[in-house]
Amino acid sequence: MKQSAPLLLSFNGGYVDTAGFLALHGLFAAHVTGNFVTFGAAMVEGTSGAFAKLLALPVFCATIVLARVIAVHLGASGPRALKTMLLVKVLLLAVAASFALAWGPFPDGDSGRAILTGMILVCAMAIQNAAHRVYLPKAPPSTLMTGTTTQVMLDLADLLSGAASQQQRSDIRGRLRKMVPNIVAFAAGCGVAALIFIGFGLRAFLLPPLVAIAIVTAIHLSADPEIA
């Protein structure tokens, strides 16, 4: 698959997580396990949005299970299934953007409108995670950078130590060529989301659906054997 698709997935992962965090009182839409930390902080500090943070993980899990069951039932596989799942993600991101613009800003993170907007974002990123893991298994993760960063540091240490064989060094360089750009793309998504949110507020949510459309287009224009 063209290199642009994994990079755009990572960019959107960082962007949606940051925009959601800023607009919805610390809600992580993609890195949902991080909501356990912000839930604990909300309980201690008495800030709003605690229920949405608690709800995010079961909604994320249910979305993945439902998407998988539907895909299996329909017999979808390969590029067709990937494009279908990502088109659903486009729709969810567009709906979330519409709700954010119509209902925001959200002074109360526990309001029904804030929770609904946040959960739609969670569903969208759950589909991205599931599609990426099933249909793009050779591409680095697009939403959780901790494991990728750890692997990059281990690979760099192996290169610097001189302990790796010639074949291992070749494998390491291949991994780094994939992983480092994805980390940069994710970080860029976070930074761009913050800057656009500062300048334009909730209109920041208009960008993720457009990026998601670009991802579907990149996949449609390629015929990559890496797609499962």
For residues 63 and 89, give the distance between their C-alpha atoms in angstroms, rounded to a whole number. Answer: 11
Q: What range does the domain containing 213 cover?
A: 4-220
The pair of structure tokens assigned to 203 is 């209109």
Question: Within a domain: residue 128?
Answer: yes
Q: What are phi and psi of 102, to 5 degrees?
A: -80, -35
Look at residue 50 in the predicted model and tell me its pLDDT: 86
Task: Please answer whether residues 101 and 24 qualify as being in contact, where contact means their C-beta atoms are separated by less than 8 angstroms.
Answer: no
Look at residue 225 in the predicted model and tell me its pLDDT: 43
Per-residue pLDDT 10s for the chain (228 aa) are 556 888 999 999 999 999 999 999 999 999 888 888 888 877 787 677 789 999 999 999 999 999 888 877 777 666 778 888 999 999 999 999 999 999 999 999 899 999 999 999 999 999 999 988 888 888 888 887 888 899 999 999 989 988 788 888 899 999 999 899 999 999 999 999 999 999 999 999 999 999 999 999 988 777 554 555
Render the burial of 11-35: b for 16+ CB within 10 Å, e for the rest: bbbbbbbbbbbbbbbbbbbbbbebb
**The pTM is what?**
0.91
The SS3 assignment for 171 reads helix
Reported residue count of the chain is 228
- CATH number for the domain spanning 186: value is 1.20.1250
**How many structural domains is the chain composed of?**
1
Question: Within a domain: residue 21?
Answer: yes
